[in-house]
Amino acid sequence: MTIKFNPIKTTVAIMALVLLFAECKTVKTPQQTPQQTPKTNYAYHYNPSYNHLNPSYLITKKNNSKINIYLKINTNELKFSNQNVQKKYIANIACKYIIVPSFDDKTVIDSASRISAVKYMKSQNQLVTFFEAKHMQYQDFLVYMKITDLNSGKTSKNFIPVKDINKNPEYNFLFKEKSGKPIFNPFSNLGDTLIVKQNSPHNEIFVNYYKQDFSPSVIPLSNADKIMSDTLSAPSETFTLKVQNRYARFTAKQQGLYIFSNDSDFQTATSMYVADRRFPKYMTPYKLIQPLKYLLSPNEYDMLTNSPNKKLELDKFWFSTTKNISKATQLLKIYYTRIKYANLFFTSYKAGWKTDRGMIYTLFGAPQTLNYDDIGQSWTYTLNNTTRVFRFKTSHRHNAKNDYQLVNKQKHLEIIGKAVENFRNGNIFFKK
């Protein structure tokens, strides 16, 4: 089986990077399948406090038998050493991928590895590159990635499920920054100009814009239905983008959900969530109030949002949880740090904290154990010898990437309510 990679010079040019690869070797990987047992724990994927590499990935369709695997690594996570012949600060990175049909079927479809030496440059904070890989005739498959910093020994392993590669429009579109770098986050910020690349030969892209504000999937203290549905309303605006050489430019002028399609009936489409300039952080009193929907009753929430002095009322609420300024400050810091990372990790067609995974992350913290399978993800928490498992299945509501739904949501309402009660009493289920 022949494995091809795009040359490093081409990669760097496309990505508009000036990171220099001092050494790059691409070798065919032996036919070894990725090993995952029920005990494998990938909780570090969502826990920034763990000392691991945190690479980001994108998969796009190249043609009917090949994909491009885009990879981004933050250079501040790498160890640069001058213990080499050149006496220059260099990070040595080993990248490996294996493509298999599924978690259960470990037949290797394609595999390869690359070792790169990256010279330190103060002006660059990211390494972006890509692999060209084969998926043969498979429409559904699993991409296993392993990245190792050879200087520090830190390693990251990821499983990227790919569904219906030749029909799913998610893989036909690639969103890039003006600089040419792919956008790895599941969102863009207001005012950003994006380059939209499509694989199809169409000369225009149809766009539906939705201004509607989606609700959190669960309102724990609601007296009515606690589980909310996200029905898509009529679009607030519809327009087209002109395509030249398969590229179009798009500037996000309003916050909300944008759905992109090659056809006017939007039967096949992908989407991008656009947030304010500070997202994934929330800084203003108005924004800081919104995630309190998990902790406040509807009446309390309305009183807070309608208050003429929202900052004062926010402070009063957090002080009421502990009656101690220091403890209240610690509590709100933990809560809003979780909100920030929920937005960063889980944003789909709505802000990450509003999603099912974002809700559990906000109320319980990062999972203690994270497992992957062909259905989705399992998060496990253990407290006082009691174990709770949350199962999330992959979904594509409103053409969104990164969308997961909590399985059997109704049965978890009681434990979710207890987590809310703990926060309101100044306590936290899990601090890690």
| The pTM of the whole model exceeds 0.95 | no
> Which residues form the domain of 149?
8-167
Domain count, the chain: 3
Closest CA to 241 of 257, 230, 252: 252
> Are 51 and 93 part of one and the same domain?
yes
Q: Is residue 221 part of a domain?
A: no
How far apart CA 162 and CA 425 sit, in angstroms, is: 43
Q: Is residue 242 part of a domain?
A: yes
Closest CA to 125 of 76, 184, 182: 76
Q: Is residue 408 part of a domain?
A: yes
Residues making up the chain, counted from first to last: 432
Q: Is residue 36 part of a domain?
A: yes
Interior angle at CA 114, CA 110 and CA 117, nearest 5: 170
Q: Is residue 222 part of a domain?
A: no
How far apart CA 4 and CA 63 sit, in angstroms, is: 14
How many DSSP H helices and E strands does the chain contain?
Answer: 7, 20
Residues 6+ apart with CB under 8 A from 29: 3, 96, 97, 98, 111, 112, 113
Return left, alpha or beta for 102; rule: phi > 0 is left, psi -120 to 50 is alpha, else beta: beta
Torsion of CA 383, 385, 386, 388, to 10 degrees: 60
- For residue 415, give both structure tokens: 């434990």
**26 CB-side CA count, 13 A:** 15
Residues 6+ apart with CB under 8 A from 287: 276, 278
> Are 139 and 86 part of one and the same domain?
yes
One-character DSSP codes across 266-303:
-SSEEEEEEE-TTTTS--SHHHHHGGGGGTS-HHHHHH
Q: Is residue 431 part of a domain?
A: no
**What is the SS3 assignment for 115?**
strand
Q: CATH number for the domain including 142? A: 2.60.40.10
Tokens 């979710």 appear where? 416
Strand partners, 380: 369, 389
Strand partners, 26: 114
> Are 149 and 182 part of one and the same domain?
no
> Are 20 and 162 part of one and the same domain?
yes
Amino acid letter at 32?
A: Q
How far apart CA 54 and CA 341 sit, in angstroms, is: 13
Alpha helix (H) ranges present in 365-424?
Answer: 413-424
Amino acid letter at 1?
A: M
Distance of CA 382 to the CA centre of its chain: 25
**What is the SS3 assignment for 432?**
coil
Q: Is residue 430 part of a domain?
A: no
Cis peptide, bond prior to residue 280, ω within 30 of zero: yes
> Are 191 and 211 part of one and the same domain?
yes
> Are 342 and 198 part of one and the same domain?
no
How far apart CA 425 and CA 318 sit, in angstroms, is: 10
**213 CB-side CA count, 13 A:** 2
> Are 194 and 109 part of one and the same domain?
no
How far apart CA 153 and CA 329 sit, in angstroms, is: 36
> Are 104 and 160 part of one and the same domain?
yes
| 393 φ/ψ angles, rounded to the nearest 5 degrees | -105, 145
Q: Is residue 2 part of a domain?
A: no
> Are 196 and 152 part of one and the same domain?
no
Tokens 């969308």 appear where? 403
> Are 256 and 293 part of one and the same domain?
no
> Are 143 and 190 part of one and the same domain?
no
Rounded (10°) angle between helices 413-424 and 356-364: 40
Q: What is the pLDDT along the chain (432 residues), one digit of tens a residue?
A: 333 333 333 333 333 333 333 334 455 555 555 555 445 788 989 988 776 788 999 999 998 899 999 999 999 999 999 988 888 999 999 999 999 999 989 999 999 999 999 999 888 888 899 999 999 889 999 999 999 999 999 999 998 999 899 888 889 999 999 889 999 998 999 999 999 999 888 899 999 999 988 999 888 887 666 777 788 889 999 999 999 999 999 999 999 999 999 989 988 899 999 999 999 999 999 999 999 999 999 999 999 999 999 999 999 999 999 999 999 999 999 999 999 999 999 999 999 999 999 999 999 999 999 999 888 999 999 987 889 999 999 988 888 889 999 999 989 999 999 999 999 999 887 654
> Are 37 and 163 part of one and the same domain?
yes
